[in-house]
Amino acid sequence: MSKKITFIEKGVCAPKGFRASGVHCGFRENHKKKDLGLLVSDVMCNAAAVHTQNKVKGAPIIVNRDHLKNGKAQAVIVNSGNANTCAPNGVQVARETCRLAADALGLKPDDVLVCSTGVIGETLYIGTFEKGIPRVVKKLSYDDSESMARAIMTTDKIMKQVAVSFMLGGKKCAIGGIAKGSGMINPNMATMLSFLTTDVAISREMLRQALLADVSDTYNQLYIDGDTSTNDTVAFLANGLAGNEEIDGPGENFDTFCKALRMVTESLVRLLARDGEGATKAIECHVKGAPTKQIARIVSSSVVGSDLVKSAVFGEDANWGRVLCAVGYSDADFECGNIDVTLESDAGEVLVCRGSTAVAFSEDKAARILAAEQITIHVDLHDGNKEASAYGCDLTYGYVRINGRYRS
């Protein structure tokens, strides 16, 4: 079995049997922006999803949890511009949206997932769906992942889609994904929607197991600001059309599947981090030498979530004391007397702290490193052999400007 995994085109349409589309139908005033997306499989899929941990949840999440009780789904319909959260009759509108989409596709309403993203607390009218669903169904294509990826964007500046190809048991397989998110992104999901597709035959339980494990190291390690959204959803559909022997337990095929999934989701998370609201730089913090993987996750998240660290990176100031400060207040148990900190980018790398104390370094070199668009902060705790990363961006004047007039 070849273990080679290759990046390919077409996003969620890369796996066999998936069609997608996106149109403008009136949720947003700007007619140049698509605001209704649709993803459909030719056959029923095993499905798994992870949702926000915010106690206030959008109406679509309530509906999706009900629809996913049997671990099955065949379509996803998504609108942007209105979150359908704390909205009058929100759940009724979400259910009716599923019914309208199901009728147009010849499916059962319970086999359709629904997602919304945008402003919280505004009424969402079913009439807009009634107008838009026939149009978005008509536009469905095996080659139009990009339209759906654009239809789910809100304050995003760039469209985000990724896909990979690999072999399982002599069968060519693929995993594809799209995502949206720019602000209101804090761990345990974010104003972030992501839809993943695969033609791999995999059981519901193993699909869910793969997604939960992956989310812990990717989507849940993404920090743009301190706000966790009400609508965050990652949904994964597997239709089995690749024809491989079904993955129904651990083993080499499952490991390859998880590795391919990680390539997709990590790439999407990096795109989300780079596209943070007002961001000029993406930040990754890689922690090694931790007693446990969970401690490495916590520490790396604390660093990229620090407003002071984010501001220092924006200002291209190698103020490593802010990094050590964020490491120190993280909610984890480890020794902190022998920590090294290194800054790295395409411009090179520089050690700025050794053994939790200052070292001589070139401020000019450090400034050149921090002037790059992708910065990695390496933290070595020297207290074990576990490692993890977290992803984020700098904090800029632009973030305040965007969120100061979000509803307009």
Catalytic sites, residue numbers:
191
Q: Which of 153, 236, 155, 230 is nearest to 191 (CA)?
A: 230
CA-to-CA distance for 387 and 349, rounded, in angstroms? 19
Structure tokens at 369: 């490193």
CA dist., res. 239 & res. 243, Å (int): 10
Q: How far apart are CA 178 and CA 162, in angstroms?
A: 6
Distance CA 276, CA 398 (A): 10
Q: Which amino acid is at 212?
A: L
| Euclidean distance between CA atoms 137 and 111, whole angstroms | 16
Where b means 16+ CB within 10 Å and e means fewer, 71-101 reads ebbbbbbbbbbbbbbebeebbebbbbbbbbb
**Backbone dihedral region for residue 285 (phi beyond 0: left; psi -120 to 50: alpha; all else: beta):** beta
Secondary structure of residue 274 in the 3-state scheme: helix
